[in-house]
Amino acid sequence: MAAPKQSAKEPVKFIGGHRACAGCGFPILLKQMFSSTKDPVVIVSATGCLEVTSTIFPFSAWKVPFMHNAFENSAATCSGVEGAYRSLKKQGKENQNIKFVAIGGDGGTYDIGLQSLSGAMERRHDMLYITYNNEAYMNTGIQRSSATIMGAHTTTSPAGKVVHGKTQNSKNLTEILVAHEIPYVAQTTVAFWQDATSKFSKAFSIEGPKFINALSPCVPGWGYHMSQTVKVSKMAVETNLWPLYEVENGVYKINYKPKERMGIEEYLKLQARFAHLLKPENKEIVENIQKFIDWRWEQLLKKEEMTNKK
Ligand SMILES: Cc1ncc(C[n+]2csc(CCOP(=O)(O)OP(=O)(O)O)c2C)c(N)n1
Ligand code: SF4
Ligand SMILES: [Mg+2]
């Protein structure tokens, strides 16, 4: 589905002047999200870089209602707000078509907010949950989360002589959400504007719970130059590390299949968090990462084939 046409006259809903780092991924993502609907939007946000950098009292970068809640309950708060709205509509006290969006980082979604997210999806609230996944707890100093990929150096999975960054693979949260059998689940990332806006548009057009997992590069946490955000995001897709796909009512669609997937080294060498992996003695770790990526991709292809069988 194409994104709704925007005119330059339409008011910007996430404005400049916020304190996110130059080159941060999530301001791009927010522009993609807001350009995908003309309906009023209510935002509920977990604690994290996005909230901290955009709501420094007495300033706010938000031109829409914005509710900050605790780190772990963005989905629960949003479901409460959406429930109240439904009640007001029933009573004839509200007639706008409002979209409810809960946002959390990977720490606030993959880890600490998972039960709250699971509950809101299971109760079938009419809301969109977006995680901007920068693969660590960035706001508090780059600690590993269950979204951090194997081998990445973080302050709680440091690369040294014995251990070479995070020792576990990342959790596949997108598939956990697919298992909730909700109407719409998708993965996207900031470099693919058309992909992201199509997915936000589709999510806004569907009634019920929706989930979008958006890979969102982080300049200091990943260790790349601020001019390289789009390149890094693109390479995550070209290497099959972060496939662009969607699952609509249980049917998988891979939105982009690289003609020839690039080797993961091409992605690793762009970022300081993986610098230690490029040493010859860590070749085996890189091979294991590659094997894991290829295995996940194969699983995804099979799911697409299986769910599209007539
Ligand atoms: C219950 C609770 N524990 C810890 C914190 C401290 N804290 C605030 S933001 C944050 C990290 C958030 O990580 P993530 O959700 O990935 O968002 P990011 O900062 O990466 O954007 C932490 C640990 C908190 N606010 N509340
Ligand atoms: S630390 Fe990372 S996620 Fe946080 S504002 Fe900076 S670039 Fe964005
Ligand atoms: Mg994070």
The predicted-structure confidence for 126-176, as pLDDT tens digits, reads as follows 999 999 999 999 999 999 999 999 999 999 999 999 999 999 999 999 999
Cα 215 to ligand 3 centroid, rounded to whole Å:
10
- Does residue 184 carry a pLDDT above 70? yes
Please choose from 19, 26, 71 the residue to mutate so as to test ligand 1's pocket, defined by most ligand atoms within 8 A of CB. 71
Residues in the chain: 310
Average pLDDT, the chain: 96
Distances (CA, A) of 233 to 28, 82, 203: 12, 32, 22
What is the per-residue pLDDT for 163?
Answer: 93
Ligand lying nearest the CA atom of residue 135: 3
The C-alpha atoms of residue 16 and residue 18 are separated, in whole angstroms, by 6
- In the chain, what percentage of residues exceed pLDDT 70? 97
Q: Is 217 in the pocket of ligand 1 (CB under 6 A)?
A: no
What is the per-residue pLDDT for 217?
Answer: 98
What's the fold here for domain 26-307? Rossmann fold (3.40.50)
Q: Is 29 in the pocket of ligand 1 (CB under 6 A)?
A: no
The C-alpha atoms of residue 281 and residue 74 are separated, in whole angstroms, by 43
3-state helix, strand, coil split of the chain in percent (to 5) is 40, 15, 45
Classify residue 302 as exposed, middle or buried by CB count within 10 Å of its CB (0-12, 13-18, 19+).
exposed
Taking the domains of the chain in order of start, what are their residue ranges?
A: 26-307
Q: Is 219 in the pocket of ligand 2 (CB under 6 A)?
A: yes
CA atoms within 13 A on the CB side of 304: 15
Atom of ligand 1 nearest to the CA of 51: 21
What is the per-residue pLDDT for 188?
Answer: 99
Classify residue 223 as exposed, middle or buried by CB count within 10 Å of its CB (0-12, 13-18, 19+).
middle
Q: Is 53 in the pocket of ligand 2 (CB under 6 A)?
A: yes
Please choose from 18, 19, 26, 140 the residue to mutate so as to test ligand 2's pocket, defined by most ligand atoms within 8 A of CB. 26
Helix extents (H) in the chain: 26-34, 49-54, 74-90, 106, 114-122, 173-178, 193-205, 219-222, 229-238, 265-268, 283-307
- In the chain, what percentage of residues exceed pLDDT 90? 96
Atom of ligand 1 nearest to the CA of 218: 20
Minimum CA distance residue for ligand 1 atom 11: 137
Atom of ligand 2 nearest to the CA of 48: 4
215: which strand partners? 133, 189
Q: What is the pTM of this model?
A: 0.97
**What is the average pLDDT across 226-234?**
98
Atom of ligand 1 nearest to the CA of 104: 15
Q: Is 221 in the pocket of ligand 2 (CB under 6 A)?
A: yes
Cα 298 to ligand 1 centroid, rounded to whole Å:
33
What is the per-residue pLDDT for 10?
Answer: 72
Cα 217 to ligand 2 centroid, rounded to whole Å:
8
**What is the average pLDDT across 276-301?**
97
Minimum CA distance residue for ligand 1 atom 2: 71
Cα 48 to ligand 3 centroid, rounded to whole Å:
7
Q: Is 49 in the pocket of ligand 1 (CB under 6 A)?
A: yes
What is the per-residue pLDDT for 181?
Answer: 98
Atom of ligand 2 nearest to the CA of 216: 3
